[in-house]
């Protein structure tokens, strides 16, 4: 009986260990990012505004197969929000559905765009965001170009560091890409007062990359790359 008890204890210990290892392996094989205490320490308590570009009557770039930038960047933004929330980051998405931020009565397209961008900046300022990250997809008349790329405002030293850190992780996580973080004179970068970066997640004009960007698994990887980029920035 005594022997039986010892054996039962051993069996239970192995069962517990195997279960724990199985859970950890499952978590990693699913590409899930475990919230380590290090990550939580660096991120917790921050407020980050995630700005999915376009929306509503403005689809952004459109791939040859009909994929819309506004839909892809919203899906990636939601993934990024979920990862950040697991690390106790307060997040604000500038939009959560298919709409822009302009007044409904504004019909002039240029004025709509101006109001829309101004409100995205105001939202980041009003919630005292520590970081502002816009998510967009790129487009070029030639279909040969591909690769994710980040942008920052020239005089925003911290924004440059943030964009470079995210660029490094995009290259590391998504594969070969010779693009570098570049300065860009975009209103949302120019008018925000916190470190700000635009992430162009890839080219919808490249059929191969467009197909990848429409894949939820790839969207999750892009979000993970941005997440790791934010961590890299905070630790550097």
Question: Least distance in Å: CB of 213 to Zn ion?
Answer: 12
Question: Least distance in Å: CB of 69 to Zn ion?
Answer: 5
Question: Least distance in Å: CB of 61 to Zn ion?
Answer: 6
Pick 95 or 136: Cβ nearer Zn ion? 136
Q: Is 206 exposed, middle or buried (0-12, 13-18, 19+ CB in 10 A)?
A: buried
Pick 69 or 169: Cβ nearer Zn ion? 69
Pick 33 or 101: Cβ nearer Zn ion? 101
Where helices occur in the chain by DSSP H, the ranges are: 2-29, 37-43, 69-86, 109-126, 157-174, 187-191, 207-213, 216-235
Residue nearest to Zn ion (CB): 136
Compute the distance between CA of residue 229 and CA of residue 42 in angstroms, rounded to an integer: 12
Residues that bind Zn ion (CB under 5 A): 53, 60, 136
Pick 89 or 150: Cβ nearer Zn ion? 150
Question: Least distance in Å: CB of 60 to Zn ion?
Answer: 4
Q: Tell me the C-alpha to C-alpha distance, in Å, between residue 123 and each of 64, 71, 94, 137.
A: 33, 21, 7, 22
């Amino acid at each position: 009986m005594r022997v039986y008890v010892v054996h039962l204890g051993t069996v239970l210990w192995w069962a517990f260990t195997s279960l724990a290892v199985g859970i950890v392996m499952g978590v990693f094989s699913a590409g899930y990012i475990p919230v380590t205490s290090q990550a939580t320490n660096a991120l917790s308590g921050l407020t980050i505004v995630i700005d999915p570009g376009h929306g509503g009557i403005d689809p952004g770039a459109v791939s040859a197969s009909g994929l819309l930038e506004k839909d892809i960047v919203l899906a990636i933004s939601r993934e990024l929000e979920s990862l950040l929330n697991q690390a106790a980051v307060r997040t604000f998405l500038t939009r959560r559905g298919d709409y822009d931020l302009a007044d409904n009565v504004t019909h002039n397209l240029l004025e709509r765009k101006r109001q829309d961008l101004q409100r995205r900046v105001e939202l980041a300022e009003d919630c005292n965001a520590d970081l502002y990250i816009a998510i967009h997809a790129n487009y070029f008349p030639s279909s040969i170009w591909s690769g994710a790329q980040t942008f920052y405002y020239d005089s925003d030293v911290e924004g440059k560091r943030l964009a470079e850190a995210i660029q490094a992780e995009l290259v590391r996580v998504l594969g070969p890409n010779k693009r570098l973080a570049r300065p860009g004179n975009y209103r949302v970068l120019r008018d925000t007062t916190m470190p700000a970066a635009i992430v162009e997640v890839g080219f919808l004009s490249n059929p191969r990359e467009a197909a990848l960007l429409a894949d939820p698994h790839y969207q999750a990887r892009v979000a993970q790359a941005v997440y790791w980029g934010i961590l890299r920035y905070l630790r550097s």
